[in-house]
Chains A and B, each alone.
Chain A
């Protein structure tokens, strides 16, 4: 068929491009339009990279994030050196650290020893790790020949754990908390929103009142209260799910509102009427005909809700009511930065906010692009 039509045709017929546009599926059209939003495309690439790194955290992290190296506690970031008097270095080198104490204040500080050149190598053996709970390995993307030597590209924390590795591992939690939270919001929101919009009547009134109630409670105080009510003796995993459920506690209301609004307007459309007249069950009308017609709007709305969840997890953990150490998330990493003196002495402990800011920005741009592309027939 296709070869047949691809020949140049007479006037009034469709060009190849136009034909492709007419026969393309809804998602194909959305993708084409999304591709035109440059910031969204770059952001999408950044996000894919972030999730990829988080998935293979063990490989990308130079060290075991829980390994305590008391000898190098609170060490500042080591700069990468590409060039010094010994010439060019590629891969770059780092200079070794010598820990010393100020004789007066007894505060520990680190002197860079320029003779102690440590060559960074790719794919070196280091701390053992497990990928996806299955594959065991000890190959790291970057490392030193001697794994006991310091390699702290963004410094270490109070106990001498490598911040870079902790940030990379923290992404596993911080990047998925929002994702699962949004997923729960979506399920709950579609369910309640569609029931509310399809049936109307008293069910609608009750659900709408409930939404109004939940939305009029300021979120952070509500989340704080909910997480304070979580039992203290939960395991790390239970706590993680507890927090995602709490985060989606508000999120679903927005979804439900959008869904209900769409239902109200779609209920009287011809295709729904047609489905009803041929006796399609209600459930099937909702999920086979109505939901697909507005799901793209929903996804756009949720992409914009995701960064809020990521920020909220950070805020909760920062305040000590979200995830707690030893769980590593971007929020718990910021735990120690609550007071000024800590920041004045160890400013690099604030570095975990960089991935937070980039992730939030990227999700915002992707959400923006999706929103513009959500209705390709418009």
Chain B
């Protein structure tokens, strides 16, 4: 068990290394290095970079060196100094810009996962125990529709309804009067009144898939002889369902952590642009449109890092919950 976890964690390192190489390759893809772009920018803006600063930056990011050395320098400064490079668009270190945004992204993604679970769990159990009933069909239809409507459209429509029916602006995470205020009960309530929009929008897409897997698993389980035996012994239906089949069918919930988090992060990127949330999405999109590759690359790297961690956690949880996996 401990051995498995350790091995799993060791695998984490080469995977992360692989990802960082890929990300760095992507950062390098657009023509010219970031310093050329920076100098061009400054000249357009009427100022210039003095030769000394240029030389220092060139040296620091090893821009004249071959790919692998540049990569090594990039990774090195991230690990040792927490320096992700410079955003030429903002003319600030990337690390100044990303952390708070990553925080919001994670908060919204995790909130959406909890919402998805809270929604999918009862529906899946109901659908499986009442197979082919009206609500079984109803939920699977709603789930399919939720799957088919693009996230950003749902966000737009919700905003539009909020705006035209209730006369409130649902964009952002805070109303304007609370944006810079210190945390208080009122600010928290205001925050909660904004937070549900992205969480509901993101949650609808993932729920359908989860309901389907859980329903299928539970149905498989309910048709097994041990359930029949328990029923023959006169066990009450509720106890019968909850005692074992539900527990066994819970596995997709735990393993869904590994697939839901990346998809939530993905979805949050677009939804945040539409809703104007202070998450990674809008800033990353801007960075990409401006070819501010260090900033964009850092976001990509960190988002992938969180995904990897979530996979690791879900693997370990699965191991704890389901002893059968331990034996394999």
Is B148 in contact with A307, judged by CB distance below 8 angstroms? Answer: yes
A357 at the interface (CB under 8 A from B): yes
The proximity string for B residues 236-263 relative to A, scoring 1 for CB distances below 8 Å and 0 otherwise, is: 0000000000000000000000000011
By beta carbon, the residue of chain B nearest A215 is B262
Q: How far is the CA of A209 from the CA of B11 in the complex (A)?
A: 9
Interface centre among B150, B263, B273, B289 (most CB of A within 10 A): B150
Is A218 in contact with B163, judged by CB distance below 8 angstroms? Answer: no
By a CB distance below 8 angstroms, the chain A residues around B299 are: 221
Q: How far is the CA of A233 from the CA of B273 in the complex (A)?
A: 26
Is A338 in contact with B274, judged by CB distance below 8 angstroms? Answer: yes
Q: From B19, B156, B269, B300, give the contact of A337 (CB < 8 A).
A: B156
> Smallest distance from the beta carbon of B74 to chain A beta carbons, Å?
16
> Smallest distance from the beta carbon of A216 to chain B beta carbons, Å?
5
Is A315 in contact with B150, judged by CB distance below 8 angstroms? Answer: yes
Is B26 in contact with A218, judged by CB distance below 8 angstroms? Answer: no
Is B14 in contact with A209, judged by CB distance below 8 angstroms? Answer: yes
By a CB distance below 8 angstroms, the chain B residues around A198 are: none
Q: From B31, B150, B284, B289, give the contact of A353 (CB < 8 A).
A: B150
Is B15 in contact with A213, judged by CB distance below 8 angstroms? Answer: yes
B30 at the interface (CB under 8 A from A): yes
By beta carbon, the residue of chain A nearest B285 is A319
Is A224 in contact with B269, judged by CB distance below 8 angstroms? Answer: yes
> Smallest distance from the beta carbon of A278 to chain B beta carbons, Å?
35
Q: How far is the CA of A334 from the CA of B153 in the complex (A)?
A: 10
Interface of A is mostly: helix
Is A220 in contact with B269, judged by CB distance below 8 angstroms? Answer: yes
By a CB distance below 8 angstroms, the chain B residues around A217 are: 19, 22, 262, 300, 303-304, 307
A264 at the interface (CB under 8 A from B): no
How many residues of chain A get a CB closer than 8 Å to chain B's CBs? 40
Q: From A218, A307, A321, A360, give the contact of B288 (CB < 8 A).
A: A321
B266 at the interface (CB under 8 A from A): yes
By beta carbon, the residue of chain B nearest A213 is B18
Is A209 in contact with B15, judged by CB distance below 8 angstroms? Answer: yes
The proximity string for A residues 98-129 relative to B, scoring 1 for CB distances below 8 Å and 0 otherwise, is: 00000000000000000000000000000000
A149 at the interface (CB under 8 A from B): no
Q: How far is the CA of A137 from the CA of B14 in the complex (A)?
A: 59
Interface centre among A225, A231, A350 (most CB of B within 10 A): A225
A237 at the interface (CB under 8 A from B): no
> Smallest distance from the beta carbon of B85 to chain A beta carbons, Å?
15
A219 at the interface (CB under 8 A from B): yes
Is A360 in contact with B148, judged by CB distance below 8 angstroms? Answer: yes
By a CB distance below 8 angstroms, the chain B residues around A365 are: 144
By beta carbon, the residue of chain B nearest A364 is B144
Is A340 in contact with B159, judged by CB distance below 8 angstroms? Answer: yes
By a CB distance below 8 angstroms, the chain B residues around A203 are: none
> Smallest distance from the beta carbon of A146 to chain B beta carbons, Å?
36
By a CB distance below 8 angstroms, the chain B residues around A356 are: 148, 150
Given known A-B contacts A319-B285, A320-B289, A321-B285, A221 and B144 have beta carbons under 8 A apart: no
Q: How far is the CA of A329 from the CA of B147 in the complex (A)?
A: 20
Q: Report which A residues bind B (CB closer than 8 A).
A: 209-210, 212-213, 215-222, 224-226, 228-229, 231, 307, 311, 314-315, 318-321, 334, 337-338, 340, 343-344, 350, 353, 356-357, 360-361, 364-365
- 10 A–B contacts, CB within 8 A, in A order: A209-B14, A221-B299, A225-B26, A225-B296, A226-B26, A315-B150, A337-B156, A353-B149, A357-B149, A361-B144
